[in-house]
Structure 1
């Protein structure tokens, strides 16, 4: 790249008007009856052809709200969009809440009125209690959609109180002004750190990219000085399949603290000037803030009397043993696993083990305060109080013979809009499995190793209890050497997520490795090393994945927590950890988006969790080995979650630009609480949505969409630890 400086007057961008001749209309087909999301059973729906009708069949006023959702899953092109429909309000319909009719919701987020050709809104919303309602009169409704929304997943409406409620929605369509050739700059909404590697991205689309041939100019505006830097760039020749676009990486590493605009001028007939603003910070306060919010989010997934929903889930005090229905067990407390209220031993042990491994290797990075903590106060670090919430629940999930119940869950999934206090269905303890028992043994061993070093006598005693529990679990595993696994369903019902597995050899290794790290005796080390030797060929043969199902790398990390490894074992441990770190770093170097995935690859379910876990691995390896390059990789990847992605999306809840607003999380989806800051959503994946969008564009910010927008403890744990390590290693 070459740079030169110009006066601000040198740029005279022209924003072309969007001509009506370039618009297309996409009729929306309603193929199934809308869902009564709140089950109020007073207002009823039906389809009259393609006319959606809501009608109150009761008598007297319905002085309440209900929620109706139409599932659509219609793929849409990039560009400015308007969702429109004809609205007819029944002659006898009498609104009871002023003139409010219903709150319109597109893809899980309240929709705004579209602007007409003169820039005026098509109707004025009535705002009440922070929600905007369409007024109760027949009219043509036009609602705006983001140009980057590539799918209409759902249209929902929350009704306002009325007597003789009756509305009809017909002629539903999306009008699009395609901008398939717009050039889009992507910058970090979090802000960069002065002195760090800083990258922005620009996407180019075929027609205008070809017209520009090989080179062009973009501009960088320093807001404080008004100086414009002209940047010559060579246009990319290769299309990146994972985002469906040609991508330029713009190196901004030399920028000092300040506020900037990255400007891409208009090119050709269809494009317009685009601008993205960002900050460069003198320190790492922005990273510390995201760390604090990430840890604080655990309070909002805490069940039991110390959490935010103390009266909810009383049935957990007497969960029924599925195999022996005459027996019950107290499994109260712990963390909600994800967006619903199920609790799973496999994933719970995995998630808390990430915390324990970090605490054993890098306790100094976890010394910060956390607000709030869903646990009683103690003379231990706040993060350990957070972890203890889940460890205390896991401890209850062990059977007398040492085996561990796979999960505690209801027979049927609760509605996405069910508040914690309204989830009163019977809780079942589902059958024991070898994977749950092995992960439990690992987590208990790691916890015992850490708890026994604490000054707090209560935690020391709990450490002894955890050690005994780990030994009981290991004994049961020795007596049950064949895989025991949960069924997918029982009499037609799933009883929550399966978290099933067809190979428990990695879980057994994890259990043996963690116990060896705890006891540090030669027999335990020999058992763990024999497991490791058997697993190494499989570990080295695959492009290493990281999730709750594959825990052999956690076994290696567990061994790394010990200072008494023999030279052979230590050499193997360090080699495996570095190799995994380096493989991901090589993928990152080849990626057009700075993340460890091939440009022509797929994204796993919970892709943000995968990337966050790799970030944790990089940062912890850097701490253990002293290799700075890996903490640099971790910091570079961080900005992917904050706008350096094809959707310009901030995949974290909070107040940053384009942040997640409608996560799939029962307490907030139900209206019980406002969506807290600090949660990371699952993110785009290759199988999450209908349509043919590239993997990195397969995402919708919709609180009914668990495929891409659910919160979950496994990626929240990795996210919080990743942030803690980064905050400690940057200044």
Structure 2
């Protein structure tokens, strides 16, 4: 079928603007909302595209900069409506931030803010400490992690980190308001983003034991059925501590302390106290304490093969916050261990330079962000800058291999491929701060275009944003709440060549990577949502110029 693939939301006036056609067309035109021609141009034939499975033609209309609503036409084929203007992403930014509010666990949702997506208080009971004969623990609050109702320390810490690093690199994001309850602080009210992040930070504090270690997760023993969160009455369990969770919490509490000190000194001091407590536990327990699910339990595991990247991030974060040399030395030691491990690792969670990875499975890049913020010239900070710039160059080279200018290869289309892309876009964003490069900027725009519709599925992977936005996330409340549309701003996991669920396996195995996707609630390996797929998009949008 002949189609025009393009960003269905919009373009900033000065940005690159491209659409991709899967059919021969020499000419194209852009028409305004009155049907008048705003721009005419010639397409460029790129050729067959391995990751999309299309013979691609590129229509470039970068010169179009006047604010307005438009469509692109080629022959008798019409593309989706899109906007040009400095405000074209305002709704998108609000939506992707407010998603965290909708994912709140406990008694925090209010009809005034959630509207038709309100639900009753949930998961308010204390949690049993699995395998220990101790009193149950109050760990209420925080965010539901994904399509299920689990809450996970490493995942939560990384999502918070994306948001807080966005604040550090791009403080104007704090001006964004997205209609959530206000939170008082020393100087009046917290900015909305910091108010929402505090919800998860408060929960993560409850996940820390008195000795500084951190429980890996709190979930029911098995995933809940597709029911509303308040109907999930099964027993909650706190599963064993891990050095992974403890290091991540040390890192993110130190990061948060440096931000919240300008708003609530007592809270910032508490965060730093907890960060140091966690770090002391790590020093007292130098041997890795990894995590595996209890036998018979099937909730999210979040396993990692090592904890060097987690400890590295913790040391870098504390060094950036305190400037104490002991953390610098610890970071040097953990960096060496991480690099040595990755030289022999057979299974890698990240396809690029591990020192630029920004996900829950490898934290090296998060440590790098702290070092880049340090603005010093030493072995660690120089290496961090070099890693980000070199990785960005690799990503740009990937984009030159396909008609979409997408910085991904087939092997990147794994479970949560959209997060892989968003991590890459974070790398490109930071690299462009270090070494401004038009090629980096073009690759960021191409990635955003892909997410918002310029892909061979012709779908926007953010609910409520784009004429053909996906509508059936693998997410329990939106599946059973009898509301036709899911709440806006959810990022789908995206195409996945692994096709790990039964519904996904109806897709031919030899399909092009971009086409390994179904907008179906049953497709947990393709269409689930999670907090750490939204959070990197917040970072990228904060840095978009």
TM-score by shorter chain over 0.5: yes
Tell whether 2:146 aligns with 1:345: no
Q: In the TM superposition, what is the alpha-carbon distance from 1:432 to its structure 2 partner?
A: 0.7
Q: In the TM superposition, what is the alpha-carbon distance from 1:220 to its structure 2 partner?
A: 1.6
**What is the rounded CA distance, in whole Å, between the counterparts of 2:119 and 2:44 in structure 1?**
59
Tell whether 2:278 aligns with 1:473: yes
Structure 1 contact 661–675 (Cα < 8 Å) conserved: yes
Tell whether 2:228 aligns with 1:419: yes
Match of 2:325 in 1: 522
- Cα shift readout 1:208-249 (whole Å, capped 9, x = no counterpart): x7xxxxxx5233253457459775556444x32222221122
**What is the rounded CA distance, in whole Å, between the counterparts of 2:100 and 2:9 in structure 1?**
21
**What is the rounded CA distance, in whole Å, between the counterparts of 1:568 and 1:339 in structure 2?**
42
Tell whether 2:404 aligns with 1:593: yes
Match of 1:679 in 2: 490
**What is the rounded CA distance, in whole Å, between the counterparts of 2:312 and 2:38 in structure 1?**
58
**What is the rounded CA distance, in whole Å, between the counterparts of 2:439 and 2:216 in structure 1?**
39
Structure 1 contact 684–708 (Cα < 8 Å) conserved: yes
- Higher mean C-alpha displacement, 475-484 vs 342-351: 475-484
**Residue of structure 2 aligned with 1:569, choices 357, 380, 384:** 380
SS in 2 for 1:590: coil
Match of 1:297 in 2: 99
Q: Which runs of 5+ in 1 are unaligned?
A: 1-181, 210-215, 266-272
Match of 1:288 in 2: 90
- Cα shift readout 1:153-185 (whole Å, capped 9, x = no counterpart): xxxxxxxxxxxxxxxxxxxxxxxxxxxxx3322
TM-score by length of structure 1 reads 0.66
1:242–1:489 distance in 2 versus 1, CA, 3 Å: farther
Match of 1:152 in 2: none
Match of 1:507 in 2: 310
Aligned pairs, number: 517
- Higher normalized contact order (CA 8 Å, seq sep 6+, divided by chain length): 2
1:290–1:219 distance in 2 versus 1, CA, 3 Å: same
- Cα shift readout 1:518-557 (whole Å, capped 9, x = no counterpart): 2111222222133334445777996235421011011111
- In terms of fraction of residues, the more strand-rich structure is 1
**What is the rounded CA distance, in whole Å, between the counterparts of 1:648 and 1:551 in structure 2?**
32
Structure 2 contact 44–58 (Cα < 8 Å) conserved: no
Match of 2:301 in 1: 498
Tell whether 2:237 aligns with 1:403: no
- Higher mean C-alpha displacement, 678-687 vs 228-237: 228-237
SS in 2 for 1:406: strand
**What is the rounded CA distance, in whole Å, between the counterparts of 1:361 and 1:382 in structure 2?**
17
Bigger Rg, which one: 1
**What is the rounded CA distance, in whole Å, between the counterparts of 2:329 and 2:412 in structure 1?**
38
**Residue of structure 1 aligned with 2:456, choices 621, 646, 658:** 646
Q: In the TM superposition, what is the alpha-carbon distance from 1:294 to its structure 2 partner?
A: 0.9
- Cα shift readout 1:118-173 (whole Å, capped 9, x = no counterpart): xxxxxxxxxxxxxxxxxxxxxxxxxxxxxxxxxxxxxxxxxxxxxxxxxxxxxxxx
Tell whether 2:162 aligns with 1:359: no
**Superposition pairs for residues 616-655 of structure 1, below 5 Å?**
616-623=426-433, 625-627=435-437, 629-654=439-464
Tell whether 2:271 aligns with 1:462: no
**What is the rounded CA distance, in whole Å, between the counterparts of 2:323 and 2:38 in structure 1?**
61
- In terms of fraction of residues, the more helix-rich structure is 2
Match of 1:487 in 2: 292
Q: In the TM superposition, what is the alpha-carbon distance from 1:260 to its structure 2 partner?
A: 4.6
Match of 1:725 in 2: 543
**Residue of structure 2 aligned with 1:334, choices 127, 142, 146:** 142
Q: In the TM superposition, what is the alpha-carbon distance from 1:403 to its structure 2 partner?
A: 1.0
**What is the rounded CA distance, in whole Å, between the counterparts of 2:217 and 2:543 in structure 1?**
31
Structure 1 contact 605–685 (Cα < 8 Å) conserved: yes
Tell whether 2:270 aligns with 1:447: no
Structure 2 contact 389–434 (Cα < 8 Å) conserved: no
Q: In the TM superposition, what is the alpha-carbon distance from 1:659 to its structure 2 partner?
A: 0.8
TM-score by length of structure 2 reads 0.88
SS in 2 for 1:561: helix
- Higher mean C-alpha displacement, 391-400 vs 228-237: 228-237
Coordinate RMSD, CA, aligned: 2.6
